[in-house]
Chain A
C-alpha cells in the first residue's frame, strides 16, 4: 500500500535541506509554506554539439528533418517522421515516493540527493507513470502516477547562451493529487492512481488542470508567487499575532520580491458521481463544462458546481447479467461544444449530440468496421476493444486504438475507417499467450501531432510507433536507458517476424512484454514528444540545426 511521502522528503539539490516539494492536500492551512522553486536539473553531460545538417532551409519554429546521412530532406510538414530524425532531449525520473534508503546506501544517498534523479532500482510501483499530458501551449507537461501524485514539468526558457537546451523540461511543481481512500459502504479500497490529467486553457496567470482517479475528479490551480507582503501591523515577521497594545505606529505593508514559489491548491472536488471506474475526462470547448466517463456512464459537470452532475450517457442494462459492452473512452469535439464521442469494448464508436436530447443514449452516428472473416478467432472481440479515442485537432477525424491497430475515421463515414495502421501485427499469432498473461487487455493510448499529419502510439519492449498519414511511412523507436545518450539520434528499430534475423533486428520471442509504452503525448505545435516508460519520462524532439 502506498505510503504518503515523508514531509521532509528531499527532492531538490543538496543545498536545500529537506524542503517540502509542492503543497500536499492535507496542508491547506495558511501557515503552510509553499515550497521554493525546484532547482534545475543537472545538465546532461554534453558529449558533442548537435551536428549541423546540410539543409539550408530553416523554418521558424520547426527544425528541418535530417536523414542519417545528413543530406537535406523535405520539411517536417511534408514528412513527419523521417528515419533517424528524433533525438533524446532528456530523461526524467519522477521523484521516488517512498524513501528506500538504508544504511549501506549512504554514499548513494548523497549522490542521489544532489541531483533530482533517482536510480531506476529505487523506484517503487507508486512511481509508475499512468498519464502524460501537455498543456495547450506546450509550455507545461504534466504526469500522474500510480501513487496519486502529479508532477508538472516546465519547458526550459530559450536563451541565446544555451540554444542547445531548447526543449528541455524541468520540474515545476509536484503535489499529491489523490490519496488512497476506503469506501466503507462497499468495503473497498479506492486506488489513488491518476487515470487522466486534462489541462484547462489558460485564462489568467494561473494554470488549471483536472486530475482523476477511479472515482473522484479534482480541479487544481497551479500558481506562481514571486512577491510577498511585508510589514503587517497586526502580525510580526514570523506570522504571530501581535498584542494590539504594543502597536504604536501604523505602516502600509509593501510587496517585496521573493524566490519564485509554485503552489498547487485544489479548487474543486467532484466526487460521488461514479459507481464504476472513471476512464476518461474531457474538457469542453465552452470551457465551462467537462465530462467524466466510467465503464457504464458519462456525466457532464459544470466547473463551478461540485455537488451535482448531469448523466448524459447510461448503458447499464436493467439486468447486469445482460451486460456485454462497456464504455472505454470518451472525448468532446475540439470545437463543437455539443458533440462528443465514446468508444466501447466491442470496437464501436458513438458520436452524440447533446442538442438532440438530454440523455444521449441514442447516438447520432455509429462507427463500426465489419469483422474480417479471415482474421476471426476467439479473441476477435478482445482485440477489437478500443482503448483510446482522440479527435484530430481539426475536428474532422477521430483516431481509435485497439490492441493491434490504430484507425483513423472520417466523421462523415461510419461504415469503416479511412486509414488503418498495423502497430504490431506480429502479435496476431501470439494472442493465446497474450490472453494467458493478460497482456491482451493492455490499454494503449494514441496521439495526434499538432498538424494531424502524424499519429503515434506505444507498443511493447519500450517501443513506440509513428505513422505519417501523408507519406504512409512509419517508424519504430525505442525509449530505453541503454540506447539513449542525451542528444543522440534515435535509431529506428525493427521486429523480425520469422526467417533470418538481421543484425539490428529483434525477434518477436525476445520482446519484453513487461515494458509497455501505454502513455505518450505530443506537443501541440512543435515536434516534441513525451513518452512514459514505467517510471521514466522520455522527451524527444526532432533534430534541429
Chain B
C-alpha cells in the first residue's frame, strides 16, 4: 500500500524478504544526533502538524505539484510511524507530557489521520482527472498498464491520457458503491485504528468529506497546540 512504501529502504544484501516490513527505529535511540534537541514525541508532533498543513495546502491547488505532494506524504508517513512507535513504548523519562494524554492523542491522530489521508488522496485522484475508486477493487483484473485499461498492443501509443478509461472506471465505481471497505481501510493503518471506518464512500458521501477533514484537522491542531508548546526552529536568515 502507498504509505508503507514511504520509507526509503536501506539497501542490504538480503533485503528481498524484509522490505515491506522494515521500519526505521533510529529515532528511538536517545543518543541519535537528530533527536538530541527535543524529545521525539514533541519534534514529531510539530512536524506532523506542519506536514498536514502542507499536504492540505498542496491539495487545495488547482493542479498540485505532484513531486511536492508525494514527498510531503512520504514524510508524513515517516512522522506518523515514529509517533505511533513512541506511543507504543513505555513512556520515556524525558517526556514532559503525561503519557496517557499523549497516547490518546496519538491514537486519535492516527484515526483522524487515516480519515483525512484517505479522503485527501481521493481528492488527488479526482484532481488528476482519472476517477479511480480509492478503495481497492474486489474484482481486479491482472495489474496491467495504468492507462485506463488500454490493451497492451496499443500501449506504445499513448495519445490522450485522461480520456481513456474514464468510462470504465465510472462503471466499476458504480458496481462497488455499496461495498463496505472498512476492512481494507483498517489494514492500511496497522497501529491504532482497528475497526475504525475511515474512508468515506464515493458518490453521495463525497461532498461531505472535505468538511470532515477540516473539522478533524482543526480539532487535532487545537489539541496539539493546547497541550504542547510548538517548538518551531528559528527561521532561516533572509
**A interface list, Cβ under 8 A from B:** 185-189, 272-277, 295-297, 299, 308-311, 314, 316-326, 328, 345-347, 358-359, 368, 370-371, 373-374, 376-382, 384-385, 415, 430, 432-439, 441, 507-514
Contacts and interface: CB of A to CB of B under 8 A. Distances in A.
Contact of A441 (B33, B68, B121, B124): B68
B124 A185 contact: no
Nearest to A427: B236
A498 to B, nearest CB: 14
Interface string B198-238: 00000000000000000000000000000000001111111
Contacts of B70: 323-326, 345
A415 B34 CA distance: 26
Interface string B137-181: 000000111110000000111111110000000000000000000
Contacts, number: 165
A514 B82 CA distance: 32
Given A272-B160, A358-B156, A187 B62 contact: yes
21 contacts: A185-B162, A186-B129, A273-B158, A277-B65, A297-B158, A297-B161, A310-B157, A317-B146, A319-B136, A320-B121, A324-B5, A345-B71, A376-B34, A378-B82, A380-B8, A381-B7, A381-B8, A384-B8, A430-B236, A507-B237, A509-B236
Tell me the interface secondary structure of chain A in the complex.
loop
A184 B84 CA distance: 43
Tell me the interface secondary structure of chain B in the complex.
loop
A379 B63 CA distance: 24
A426 to B, nearest CB: 11
A223 B133 CA distance: 51
Interface of B: 1-2, 5-8, 10-11, 24, 26, 33-34, 47, 50, 54, 62-63, 65-68, 70-71, 73-75, 78-79, 82, 121, 124-125, 128-130, 132, 134, 136, 143-147, 155-162, 232-238
Contact of B237 (A274, A325, A512): A512
Contacts of B130: 320
A294 to B, nearest CB: 9
Given A322-B5, A328-B67, A346-B8, A513 B236 contact: yes
A439 B47 contact: no
A14 B63 CA distance: 43
Contacts of A371: 8, 10-11
B68 A311 contact: no
Contacts of B128: 275-276, 320
Contact of A310 (B8, B125, B156): B156
Contacts of B67: 295, 326, 328, 345, 385, 441
A433 B37 CA distance: 14
The 8 A-B pairs with the shortest beta carbon distances in the complex, nearest first, are: A311-B158, A509-B237, A275-B161, A320-B125, A295-B66, A370-B11, A316-B146, A324-B5
